[in-house]
């Protein structure tokens, strides 16, 4: 374990590496989708983007659920050496760690089912069973660059000691320094996995009802959060929280008494730890009836601090269907948190964290005209997935992006258009001051995209994934589609890169992707872009000229 070649020593002294993370759904606890540390892919070379590799996982799909959104652990010292890890979950209760530089498996673990209640044998569209929530770890893609020890060259001869298996309780500086991965298996247990080996660092914690459909795990101050939807397994839709490092491991919960929480990312976490979540329909104290209600909750006991409900009651969700919706995004402006949320009335709402809806809980900082067109005959129109945001420090411009399913509303006027967008699009807004008040000013609408996933941003560009999945919620008469129907209706996914200021198309993957993407968000880190598809494949795009270890094989 002391064998260190002079080549390696020289490489350590001169080969500087920046290892950025994409640690969670939408990149950060705030769900902003901003890859702030990305420096490799830029507007002047993005046209050279190409498929670097595909990784096909030995996972069995459940319904439409296959692989979760990927995460990136940018730089880790393991017993195999220095690694950048591509990590994702599989619906068959699998977790995979792949060497992102070499497209080689590092480890795979299967999480055994241990609940008293039997595992769900049948998959439906809303309740697929299996592992559904992305793996997550502490950190943020929008926190700026992380400087690591200098990485030895790949050709150097280096022997690294195996990582120790940690059985002691987690404490001290918490998960951030430990570097654990967190995942909820289909039996509802929370696993804290060793990043080097995939082994449980501590015994799994009983967290959620078994057979739940779980969305976006989030983490702050050693507390893990998860939301459930669809009423799967006969359990209520709720937000759950637990500190797996605590002695008693008490689980707190906040039921919606109605629909699941809006969007694919569950909740967003403010800079002070406040939780922001939106509920399309349901009820609870003190807000009463939920109608696209945005709640501010305390971080540990999940008590309501404040709330905002748009004026007017939008139509409730169709029977047996979750409403079309998106998870709110949080960003800081002039030292205060600001929240952007969408309603089923097609409007975007700008909210002040100090008072979400004013004294009457119905008054936002600003609301737009209808942007998304009304949903008719179960077409699935509306805001989808999650919102995204970044700040252009050169111009002090705060940008907000929304993934739109279906055509824009007739009232929506964008100064810049990029062709007809009847199927779906990315729409862009600037946060501006007007007469002393913040407003959301429409800026551009992208080209047509089929059911776009939440956008990611980097270097003034917008990375958008047209999932290829039909946005329709049900047949025009309201009867449900089968899983086979949904698979037949789908096309292939397409990766687009757009100019963040104009929406102009800078790159398209065309027909390189062979399947559609279901429930997968993008991950952008260290010169590569990742997403997963329904055929249990992870796609990795990047610049071939910067990846000789891949293109030279």
Looking at residue 349, its pLDDT comes to: 97
State pLDDT tens for residues 531-552: 999 999 999 999 999 988 886 5
Strands in 336-342's sheet, in edge-to-edge order, are 329-333, 336-342, 348-352, 366-367
Q: What is the mean pLDDT of residues 410-422?
A: 96
Token pair listed for 399: 């940008």
pLDDT band at residue 18 under the 50/70/90 scheme: low
Q: Point out the least confidently predicted range of 35-44, 72-81, 423-432.
A: 72-81
| pLDDT higher at 316 or 272 | 272
With a cut of 80, say whether residue 314 has pLDDT above it. no
- Per DSSP, 267 falls in state -
Burial (CB < 10 A; 0-12, 13-18, 19+), residue 434, is exposed
- Which pLDDT band, with edges at 50, 70 and 90, does 234 fall under? confident
Question: Residue ranges of the alpha helices (H) in 70-202?
Answer: 175-178
So what's the pLDDT on residue 376?
84
Mean residue pLDDT of the chain comes to 88
Stated pTM of the model = 0.91
Percent of the chain with pLDDT over 70: 87
Tokens, residue 24: 């969670």
How many Cα atoms occupy the beta-carbon half-sphere of 147 within 13 Å?
Answer: 2
Mean pLDDT of 280-303: 95
Contact 282, 294 (CB under 8 A): no
b/e map 231-262, b = 16+ CB within 10 Å: bbbebebbbbbbbbbeeeeebbebbbebbbbb
For 139-189, the pLDDT digits (tens) are: 999 876 543 333 333 332 222 333 333 333 333 335 544 579 999 999 999
Question: How much is the average pLDDT of 412-423?
Answer: 96
First-to-last C-alpha distance (Å) of the chain: 29
pLDDT (average), residues 116-140: 93
């Amino acid at each position: 374990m002391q064998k260190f070649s002079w080549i390696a020593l020289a490489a350590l002294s001169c080969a500087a590496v920046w290892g950025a993370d994409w640690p969670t759904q939408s990149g950060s606890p705030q769900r902003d989708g901003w890859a702030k540390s990305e420096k490799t892919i830029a507007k002047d070379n993005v046209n050279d983007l190409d498929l670097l590799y595909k990784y096909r996982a030995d996972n069995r799909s459940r319904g439409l659920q296959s692989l979760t959104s990927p995460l990136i652990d940018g730089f880790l010292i393991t017993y195999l050496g220095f690694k950048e890890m591509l990590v994702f979950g599989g619906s068959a209760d699998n977790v995979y760690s792949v060497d992102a530089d070499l497209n080689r498996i590092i480890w795979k673990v299967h999480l055994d089912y241990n609940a008293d209640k039997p595992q769900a044998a049948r998959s439906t569209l809303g309740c697929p069973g299996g592992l559904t929530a992305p793996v997550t770890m502490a950190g943020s893609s929008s926190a700026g660059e992380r400087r690591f020890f200098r990485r030895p060259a790949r050709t150097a001869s280096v022997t690294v000691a195996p990582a120790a298996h940690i059985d002691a309780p987690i404490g001290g500086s918490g998960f951030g320094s430990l570097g654990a991965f967190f995942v909820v298996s289909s039996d509802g247990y929370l696993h804290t996995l060793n990043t080097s080996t995939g082994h449980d660092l501590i015994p799994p914690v009983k967290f959620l009802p078994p057979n739940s459909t779980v969305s976006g795990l989030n983490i702050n101050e050693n507390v893990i959060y998860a939301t459930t939807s669809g009423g799967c397994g006969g359990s209520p839709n709720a937000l759950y929280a637990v500190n797996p490092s605590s002695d008693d491991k008490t689980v707190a919960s906040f039921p919606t008494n109605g629909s699941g929480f809006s969007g694919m990312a569950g909740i967003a976490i403010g800079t002070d730890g406040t939780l922001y979540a939106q509920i399309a329909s349901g009820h609870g104290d003190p807000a009463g009836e939920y109608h696209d209600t945005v709640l501010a909750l305390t971080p540990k006991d999940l008590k309501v601090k404040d709330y905002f409900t748009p004026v007017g009651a939008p139509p409730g969700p169709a029977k047996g269907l979750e409403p079309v919706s998106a998870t709110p995004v949080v960003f800081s402006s002039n030292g205060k948190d600001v929240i952007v949320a969408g309603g089923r009335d097609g409007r975007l709402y700008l909210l002040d964290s100090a008072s979400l809806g004013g004294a009457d809980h119905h008054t936002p900082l600003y609301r737009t005209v209808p942007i998304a067109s009304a949903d008719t005959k179960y077409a699935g129109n509306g805001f989808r997935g999650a919102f995204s945001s970044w700040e252009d420090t050169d111009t002090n411009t705060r940008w907000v992006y929304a993934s739109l399913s279906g055509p824009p509303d007739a009232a929506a006027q964008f100064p810049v258009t990029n062709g007809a967008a009847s199927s779906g699009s990315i729409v862009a807004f600037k946060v501006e001051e007007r007469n002393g008040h913040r407003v959301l000013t429409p800026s551009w609408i992208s080209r047509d995209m089929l059911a776009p996933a939440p956008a990611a941003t980097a270097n003034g560009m917008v990375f958008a994934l047209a999932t290829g999945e039909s946005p329709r919620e049900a047949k025009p008469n309201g009867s449900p589609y089968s899983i086979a129907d949904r698979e037949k209706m789908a096309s292939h996914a397409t990766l687009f890169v757009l100019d963040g200021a104009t929406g102009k198309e800078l790159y398209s993957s065309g027909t390189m992707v062979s399947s559609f993407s279901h429930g997968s968000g993008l991950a952008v880190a260290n010169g590569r872009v990742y997403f997963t598809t329904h055929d249990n494949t992870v796609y990795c795009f990047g610049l071939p000229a910067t990846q000789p270890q891949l293109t030279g094989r």
